[in-house]
Structures are given as structure tokens and as C-alpha cells.
A and B are shown apart, each in its own frame.
Chain A
Amino acid sequence: MSRCPVPEQEGQSSVSINAIDDVIHGRLRLGVMAYLSAVNPASFAELIERTGATNGNLSTHLGKLEAAGYVQQQKGYNGKRPQTLVHLTDSGRSAWLAYLEAMRHLLGTDQQ
């Protein structure tokens, strides 16, 4: 888990900033993780449609998430058409929950 440059808030400890997972913390990767937390697995085409990303951009970001072990890409066929399914792994789900917790702590919403 790496550190990410996020705005530090007054009265917040730096511990919570260190807890922000840089692999998840990026607009598209964040969107993918959020979508996969509700729809698992999702097809590559579905993620393109939902996030509005380009093929290349999504591939790059999925590669980063896969390298971290957060998602798993499964290439196969749907009928005769090739299809890639993206699965959120157990460690991906844990990392996602930890990320949400860290963000909530950082933004101070856990004290409300």
C-alpha cells in the first residue's frame, strides 16, 4: 500500500493519509472498484459503458489493479464472442473497505 498526495485536513492525523491506498486512489480505478463492489464480476464492455473510459485507458488501470491483486481478469467467450470478465478479489474487497474507512476518517465523516 503506498501513500497518496491528498489534502490534509485540519485536525486530522497523518496516519489516515498514510492509509490511503494509492493503487485504488485514482478517478478511474476508484470508479471501477466502486462498480465492482456492487456488480461482481463485470464485463470489460460493461465497465467501458459505465465509466466512460477508453479501451486503452481502462486496460492500463485494470492492469494496475490486477498487479496489486485487487481484481482478476478472466478472458473467455460469451457464445462465439470473446469476453473479458473482471472479478473483484477478496483482497480487493478488503482493500476497498480499508480505502473507504481511511477516506471517511480523513474527511472527518466518521466523527459525525
Chain B
Amino acid sequence: MDDKNSLLEDLDFAATLARDAANTPLLGGVYFLIWSGLLVPTLLVHGGVVQGWVPLDPSSIGLLWLGYAVVGITFSTVFGMRTANRPGSNTFLNRLSRASGIVLCTLIFTFATAISVAVSAERIGFEAYNLILAFAFGLNAFHLAVLGALSRKRYLRWSALMAGVAMVLTVFYCQDPVVYFIAALGVCLSMTLPGILEVRAEHRHEPVPSA
């Protein structure tokens, strides 16, 4: 009987560890907060400059976006190293989220470079830069939808929908300065919101006490 109880306790211990590992929340919330925290003010300043509300030379917009990229990559690298050390960072969903996030950033960077080259070569007009917003929203919608489907988290599906709507609107208003303000709102709904919810879930998750 003691053997049996001991066996059941061991199995219970193993089951608790497996359950705790499987319930590890998504750890990518901090990336959403970093990038959206930088993106929203950058978009608002960009829109303000184009509208003439912000007294900056329009030629400084390129530097603004360059600064955004440099600061974003720096913060992501610093926080990425911390996140990689968190227990549960290698669950299937967290690995998928990380891989998908890296592909997403690489594709946006490649697309932005292609647009810059094409504009420099005078193959397309300056307004083509605004298509980067639509492209980024489309990729983010895909990223969020996949994570939402696999994790069954409703807020991720909702955010994916918001990103999809933002993609459509940024295409529609591509040649209108209002596109930057629409994009800022889209970022709040499709990046800031899931970021806050993921970070909250991460802080709420308390690992089971070990044996």
C-alpha cells in the first residue's frame, strides 16, 4: 500500500510539473510593449510633421524612423536575453512565438529596404513608404492569428482581427496623412493591448512549489 501511495505521489509530482510547464504563459508581451511603445509616438510625430503640426523638417522623418529601429532593436536584445532565461521560455508556443516574431521583423525590414531602394531609384513614389504599414499589419495579423489559434486565447484572435482591419485601412488611406494616426490606433489595439495582457498573465503565473 505504501508502495502504491509512493508511486501515486511520484506520478502526481510529475503531472504537476508537466501541467505547470504546459501552462507557462506567452513571454512575448514585453516585445509588443517595446515596439508599440516606440511605434505609437513615432507614428504620431510623423503624422504631425506631415500635417505641419510638429515644427520639424520633413527630411528628418528618415532619421526619426532610423532612431526608432535602433532603439527598438537595442531594447529587444536586452529584454530578449532576460526572457530567454525565464523558466518555460522553451515551451512550444514560446518557441513558435519567438521564431515567428523574428521572421516577421526580418520581412518588414526587407520590405522597407526594398521600398527605400525603389524610391531612391525613382521607380516608385514616396507614398509607397506608407505601404510598409499595411505590410507590417498584415504580417502581425498572421502572427497573432496563428498564436491565437494554437493557444486558444481570445484576446490574440481579437488583436489579429484588429491588425487585419488596420491593414485594410492603411491601404485605403495610403496617400492621406491621416494614415499615420489610423496606424497609431491600430498599433494600440493590435500590439499594446495583447502586450499588456501577456505581461499581466506572466506576472500572475506562479509556478507550483517544488517537492
Q: Which residues of A contact B (CB under 8 A)?
A: 5-7, 26-27, 30-31, 33-35, 37-43, 46, 49-53, 78-79, 103
Contact = CB atoms under 8 A, between A and B. Distances in A.
Given A46-B87, A50-B20, A50-B87, 9 more contacts: A7-B3, A27-B211, A34-B14, A34-B18, A35-B21, A38-B92, A40-B90, A42-B87, A79-B81
Contacts of B22: 38
Interface stretch (B5-13, B165-173, B191-199): B5-13
Contacts of A31: 13-14, 17, 211
Nearest to B23: A38
A33 B17 CA distance: 9
Contacts, number: 71
A39 B210 contact: no
Contacts of A39: 21, 24, 87-91
B59 interface: no
Contacts of B89: 39
A1 B4 CA distance: 21
Nearest to B3: A7
How many B residues are at the interface, by size bracket?
Answer: 20 to 34
A41 B18 CA distance: 14
B48 to A, nearest CB: 39
A98 to B, nearest CB: 15
Contacts of A34: 14-15, 17-18, 21
Q: Which 8 A-B pairs have the closest CB atoms?
A: A52-B210, A38-B21, A34-B14, A34-B18, A30-B14, A7-B3, A38-B22, A7-B4
Nearest to B9: A27
A74 to B, nearest CB: 12
Contact of B14 (A33, A41, A42, A53): A33
B211 A30 contact: no
Contacts of B4: 7
Nearest to B211: A52
Interface in B63-95: 81, 84-85, 87-92
B21 to A, nearest CB: 4
B207 interface: yes
A78 B85 CA distance: 9
B84 A78 contact: yes
Given A39-B21, A39-B91, A42-B90, A50 B207 contact: yes
A26 B207 CA distance: 22
Interface string B187-211: 0000000000000000000010111
